[in-house]
Amino acid sequence: MNEHALFQERVVRLEKPQQRCLFLIAHNGQMLGLDDDEQRCLCDEGNDRVVWDRTPGGFRHVATGVEMSAAVDGGTCTLQVGCERVAFTPSLGPEQLPSAYLRHLRQEGWVCLTCILPDEVVLGLERVACTDRFAHLEQTQGVPKICQDVAVARAVCEPISLWLIRNYLGTEDLHLGHPPGFGVLSPYEGTGKVQRWHVDIPYIPSIGGNPVADRKGPIKAVQRNVCVSDFTKERGATAYKLGSHLADTPPPPAWNAADANEHGLPYSGADADVVEAPAGSIILYDARTWHRAGINRSKRKRAGMLQSFQTADVIPKRDTRHACARLHESAVYPQLNDREQREITELLMNQPRQE
Ligand SMILES: O=C(O)CCC(=O)C(=O)O
């Protein structure tokens, strides 16, 4: 095989799920779950407790098999929880149990929650990114993306990915490393900037001032790439060296050398991987993983929403408190439910703790 051949990365393809489980979501954003005694309870966390399947007469709790009867009328059902009657909206949830995703994340250093975001959230993200159904528009500048459409904060607060990140990092206390932004790749026409292989903060120098962390020390950050467009190899899906979170070093300089191939592009040989996933999927990966944006050889722009979730001791690249203040003043904030308002405020306002 020609070592310098382009676009030879191995493709790992996640297909659109045939079947998805459900969440039962209350007006305040809490989800119906079963506690350790198999009693109904209201939960904030996206773990196995809150995942249900539909049955002819109601719902089945996937993790325990406990069934309950319920009548869904006009898209909602009212159920007894303790001494309260609570109305729930059944909404499409994950393909797998959160514990199965966590196993994959711990074993492989990455996981994909395929098609986890609702269609209306994907639509809102496309609108802000100005891609796909809104590709004819230009992005609004000067207003934080999180204030432009409720979909941005809603995607940040997706409950299973937050539960996975907290469990992988072993802490409840997280913050975002920068206000949510979009990585939009225009079609590559043979010239122009192409992202190089890298790892993410805190494993590289940061303009925020965080010292470079030891790759062998405690894990300090998880990246979350939300597929706003369909992520395919041809359309510039992120390239990774899967498993490289365990490597002693960042990517080899040869992978970024001008002579990595005859076109001066970063390495795209068969030792690298591309994760293909449909729009609405969320890809989580350990920040030590070698990766780079793909090269968009399609005719359409590709958007991802990119975030870094960091432990309490990491100094963010950008202060996110200003974006939070703007969000609180914006028309978007009241559209978020109580759970989302709490989560997003915490993730943007938490400040690093010096150890
Ligand atoms: O846009 C992409 O596909 C990946 C970008 C990314 O992950 C990064 O900038 O760290």
User: In angstroms, what is the span from residue 179 Cα to ligand 1's centroid?
Assistant: 15
C-alpha to C-alpha distance for 140 and 143, rounded to whole angstroms: 7
User: In angstroms, what is the span from residue 236 Cα to ligand 1's centroid?
Assistant: 10
- For 197-239, the pLDDT digits (tens) are 999 999 999 999 999 999 999 999 999 999 999 999 999 999 9
Among protein residues, the one whose CA lies closest to atom 4 of ligand 1: 293
Q: Is the CB of 291 under 6 A from ligand 1?
A: yes
- State whether residue 154 is helix, strand or coil: helix
User: In angstroms, what is the span from residue 287 Cα to ligand 1's centroid?
Assistant: 11
Q: Is the pLDDT of residue 260 over 90?
A: no
CB 23, CB 91: distance < 8 Å? yes
**Share of residues in the chain with pLDDT > 90 (%):** 94
Q: Which atom of ligand 1 is nearest to the CA of 223?
A: 7
- State whether residue 332 is helix, strand or coil: coil
- For 310-329, the pLDDT digits (tens) are 999 999 999 999 999 999 99
- For 33-81, the pLDDT digits (tens) are 999 999 999 999 999 999 999 999 999 999 999 999 999 999 999 999 9
- For 128-181, the pLDDT digits (tens) are 999 999 999 999 999 999 999 999 999 999 999 999 999 999 999 999 999 999
All structural domains of the chain: 10-16+97-349 (2.60.120.620), 22-92 (no CATH)
Q: Is the CB of 293 under 6 A from ligand 1?
A: yes
Q: Is the CB of 225 under 6 A from ligand 1?
A: yes
* Bridge partner residues of 221 (DSSP): 310
Q: Is the CB of 304 under 6 A from ligand 1?
A: yes
Under the banding of pLDDT at 50, 70 and 90, the label for residue 257 is confident
Calculate mean pLDDT across residues 177-197. 94
Q: Is the CB of 306 under 6 A from ligand 1?
A: yes
Q: Is the pLDDT of residue 255 over 80?
A: yes
CB 344, CB 338: distance < 8 Å? no
Q: Which atom of ligand 1 is nearest to the CA of 198?
A: 10
C-alpha to C-alpha distance for 305 and 321, rounded to whole angstroms: 19
Q: What is the pLDDT of residue 355?
A: 63
| 173: phi then psi, degrees, rounded to nearest 5 | -95, 95
Count of residues in the chain: 355
| Average of per-residue pLDDT values in the chain | 96
Under the banding of pLDDT at 50, 70 and 90, the label for residue 186 is very high
Among protein residues, the one whose CA lies closest to atom 2 of ligand 1: 293
Q: What is the pLDDT of residue 263?
A: 77
pTM of structure: 0.97
* Rg of the Cα atoms in the chain: 21
Q: What is the pLDDT of residue 1?
A: 41
User: In angstroms, what is the span from residue 306 Cα to ligand 1's centroid?
Assistant: 7
Q: Is the CB of 276 under 6 A from ligand 1?
A: no
